[in-house]
């Protein structure tokens, strides 16, 4: 059955010509799971690989965690919380699309550090970028960017982060992590709104505002503003971002929260392009738009902005159509509310476009777009000068980002462009989705609500026995993750190719047969 699910590949992709600088090939030690896994798949045999020295298939010597990993976990548990541990990795032996552990197991990694590895483990181009004098200086002389930016900071931003800025957004505020990026965007939204109410950026603060803010009281600390988010959304775990996170109670329990509204995110029927689902989905999206407008106009703490993910990732991989997002943008313009698009997980090529919101064909770009994960740095893009605070130190911290991580993102961008990896992800996504369609037909009780068509490799499906599937996948050499209550989500790297897709499909079929 597995062989029937494989399909001949399309024209070859460009070959990665630079070999890893320090990685020693491990293919000579491979012990594949079985005959079907040992042989290169039809796609692998005919496509040129980005990582030619990768294993031809996963290797599983022991159960995971094995004895060496268990020993390391026991040691770590004494000084660090390991209750969320997935596996103990050995990054000196991880390469390309494969993650290794301490026991010699090497797994095809389609989880990729929760969607955060863009161009493969131990990528030689990134190693070269990390070895430059510019990088070394940025690491050992880390600047407090707000006060002492390095002389080439503008160049680093212009040739890296800003070279891939979303359409219409030509400025950036750099940050530490995705949660931090969202919180800073929220602050920008609140300052923008109060500047409007005050009469402009040039209007000085009143004595009452200055004094009351020190006591966390209005008007200096307004108690009548909010950020509107959506049910099942995830935007981080810091205090402000946590108040907009609605994915799981475990994230929010015991933490004080702001009185901020949440609107319904469309719960659609899949596949989205099935005519049988069109009427229902259109009504559901309109219901959610109507609810959003009601909250924008009536909620007692008036929203200064909405925040939304192009695909609700942590909350279960929930999709909506471009019509829904275009409708949201029209509502924000109509009611003078900012639109923040959270591209922390969806950005940097994973959906077959560099930014997932490019799929929407918006007439007006979002006001802010936050990013992190595959960028290996963080921050938010914006375009309007009205989103710059009117005084220094209002958006400020010691680091205000990290030049070394910005340099790494620049190298990632160059590697993406050199190998045409966004287009690769779009093409491989089509191939992979078709393979999952065939698996779903063969195992309809195992793959439910397959979704993500046309969204690169940003695919997911629901599984009635999700946690068992995730655990069993490791026994066949696949590291894969979940989201929400029952979704299996795919988050492969941008260097994931059709041969890897064949291995993934074949491995999951073995899990479904067990």
Q: Is the pLDDT of residue 177 over 50?
A: yes
Mean pLDDT of 364-385: 98
Question: DSSP class of residue 28?
Answer: G
Mean pLDDT of 474-493: 97
Q: Which helix (H) or strand (E) holds 248?
A: none
Q: Is the pLDDT of residue 19 over 90?
A: no
Q: Please report the pLDDT score of residue 411 as a whole number.
A: 98
373 given a catalytic annotation: yes
Q: Is the pLDDT of residue 103 over 50?
A: yes
CA angle 433, 434, 435 (to 5 degrees): 90
**CB count, 10 Å around CB of 29?**
12
Mean pLDDT of 359-381: 98
Q: Please report the pLDDT score of residue 269 as a whole number.
A: 96
Separation CA 483–CA 383 (nearest Å): 33
**Catalytic pick from 398, 445, 467, 471?**
398
312-330: burial string, b at 16+ Cβ within 10 Å, e else: bbbbbbbbbbeebbbbbbe
Percent of the chain with pLDDT over 70: 91
230 given a catalytic annotation: no
Which tokens in the block code for residue 410? Answer: 């620049």
Q: Is the pLDDT of residue 54 over 80?
A: yes
Q: Please report the pLDDT score of residue 3 as a whole number.
A: 41
How far is it between the farthest Cα atoms of the chain?
78
Q: Please report the pLDDT score of residue 339 as a whole number.
A: 98
> What is the band of 43 on the pLDDT scale with cuts at 50, 70, 90?
low
Least confident of 15-29, 136-150, 398-412, 454-468: 15-29
Sequence-ordered list of residues with C-beta below 8 angstroms from that of 140, at least 6 positions apart, any chain: none
**Catalytic pick from 103, 317, 342, 502?**
342
Domain 133-417 of CATH type 3.40.640.10: yes
Q: Please report the pLDDT score of residue 1 as a whole number.
A: 47
**CB count, 10 Å around CB of 503?**
29
- All structural domains of the chain with their residue ranges: 70-104, 133-417
132 given a catalytic annotation: no
**Catalytic pick from 373, 453, 474, 498?**
373
Q: DSSP E strands: which ranges in 258-398?
A: 262-263, 302-308, 338-342, 368-371, 378-382
**CB count, 10 Å around CB of 343?**
30
Sequence-ordered list of residues with C-beta below 8 angstroms from that of 461, at least 6 positions apart, any chain: 436, 440, 447, 448, 449, 450, 451, 487, 488
Q: Is the pLDDT of residue 479 over 50?
A: yes
Sequence-ordered list of residues with C-beta below 8 angstroms from that of 32, at least 6 positions apart, any chain: 38, 56, 57, 58, 59
Do residues 347 and 355 lie in contact, with contact meaning Cβ atoms separated by under 8 Å? yes
Do residues 443 and 165 lie in contact, with contact meaning Cβ atoms separated by under 8 Å? no
How much is the pTM? 0.91
Question: DSSP class of residue 168?
Answer: T
Q: Is the pLDDT of residue 450 over 60?
A: yes
Q: Please report the pLDDT score of residue 45 as a whole number.
A: 57
Q: Please report the pLDDT score of residue 41 as a whole number.
A: 53
Do residues 181 and 405 lie in contact, with contact meaning Cβ atoms separated by under 8 Å? no
Q: Please report the pLDDT score of residue 9 as a whole number.
A: 33
For 429-442, how does the pLDDT look when each residue is reduced to its tens digit (9 = 90+)? 999 999 999 999 99
Write down the mean pLDDT value for the chain: 91
> What is the band of 44 on the pLDDT scale with cuts at 50, 70, 90?
low
Q: Please report the pLDDT score of residue 46 as a whole number.
A: 73
For 186-232, how does the pLDDT look when each residue is reduced to its tens digit (9 = 90+)? 999 999 999 999 999 999 999 999 999 999 999 999 999 999 999 99
Mean pLDDT of 126-147: 97
**Catalytic pick from 50, 173, 234, 324?**
234
Do residues 219 and 209 lie in contact, with contact meaning Cβ atoms separated by under 8 Å? yes
Q: Is the pLDDT of residue 165 over 90?
A: yes
For 296-348, how does the pLDDT look when each residue is reduced to its tens digit (9 = 90+)? 999 999 999 999 999 999 999 999 999 999 999 999 999 999 999 999 999 99
Q: Is the pLDDT of residue 387 over 90?
A: yes
234 given a catalytic annotation: yes
């Amino acid at each position: 059955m597995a062989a029937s699910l494989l399909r001949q590949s399309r024209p070859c992709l460009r070959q990665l010509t630079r070999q890893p600088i320090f990685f020693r090939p491990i293919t000579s030690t491979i012990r594949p799971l079985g005959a079907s896994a040992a042989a290169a798949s039809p796609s692998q045999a005919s496509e040129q690989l980005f990582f030619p020295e990768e294993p031809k298939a996963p290797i599983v010597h022991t159960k995971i965690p094995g004895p060496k990993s268990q020993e390391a976990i026991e040691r770590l548990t004494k000084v660090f919380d390991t209750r969320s541990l997935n596996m103990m990795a050995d990054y000196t032996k991880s390469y390309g699309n494969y993650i290794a552990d301490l026991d010699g197991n090497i797994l095809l990694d389609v989880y990729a550090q929760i969607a955060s590895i863009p161009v493969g483990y131990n990528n030689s181009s990134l190693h070269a970028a990390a070895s430059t004098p510019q990088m070394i200086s940025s690491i050992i002389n880390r600047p407090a960017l707000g006060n002492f930016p390095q002389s080439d900071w503008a160049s680093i931003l212009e040739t890296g982060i800003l070279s891939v800025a979303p359409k219409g957004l030509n400025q950036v505020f750099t940050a530490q992590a995705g949660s931090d990026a969202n919180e800073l965007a929220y602050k920008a939204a609140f300052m923008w709104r109060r500047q409007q109410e005050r009469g402009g950026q040039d209007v000085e603060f009143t004595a009452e505002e200055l004094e009351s803010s020190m006591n966390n009281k209005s008007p200096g600390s307004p108690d009548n503003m909010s950020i509107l988010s959506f049910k099942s959304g995830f935007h981080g775990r810091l205090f402000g971002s946590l108040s907009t996170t609605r994915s799981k109670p475990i994230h929010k329990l015991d933490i004080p929260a702001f009185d901020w509204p949440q609107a319904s995110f469309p719960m659609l029927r899949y596949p989205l392009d099935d005519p049988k689902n069109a009427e229902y989905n259109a009504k559901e999206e309109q219901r959610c738009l109507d609810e959003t407008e009601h909250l924008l106009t009536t909620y007692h703490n008036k929203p200064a902005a909405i925040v939304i993910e192009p695909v609700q990732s942590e909350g279960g991989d929930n999709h909506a159509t471009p019509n829904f997002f275009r409708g949201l943008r029209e509502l924000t313009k109509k009611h003078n509310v900012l639109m923040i698009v959270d591209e922390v997980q969806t950005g940097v090529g994973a959906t077959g476009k560099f930014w997932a919101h490019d799929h929407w064909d918006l007439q007006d770009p979002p006001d802010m777009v936050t990013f992190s994960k595959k960028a290996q740095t963080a921050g938010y893009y914006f375009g309007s000068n009205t989103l710059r605070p009117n005084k220094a130190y209002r958006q400020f911290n010691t680091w205000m980002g990290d030049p070394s991580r910005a340099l790494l993102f620049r190298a990632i961008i160059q590697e993406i462009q050199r190998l045409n990896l966004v287009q690769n992800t779009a093409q491989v996504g089509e191939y992979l989705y078709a393979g999952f369609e065939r698996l779903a037909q063969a195992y309809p009780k195992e793959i439910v609500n397959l979704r993500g068509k046309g969204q690169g490799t940003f695919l997911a499906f629901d599984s009635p026995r999700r946690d068992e599937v995730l655990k069993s996948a490791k026994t066949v050499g696949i590291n894969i993750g979940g989201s929400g209550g029952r979704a299996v989500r795919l988050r492969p790297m941008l260097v994931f190719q059709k041969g890897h897709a064949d291995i993934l499909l074949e491995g999951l079929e073995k899990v479904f047969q067990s």
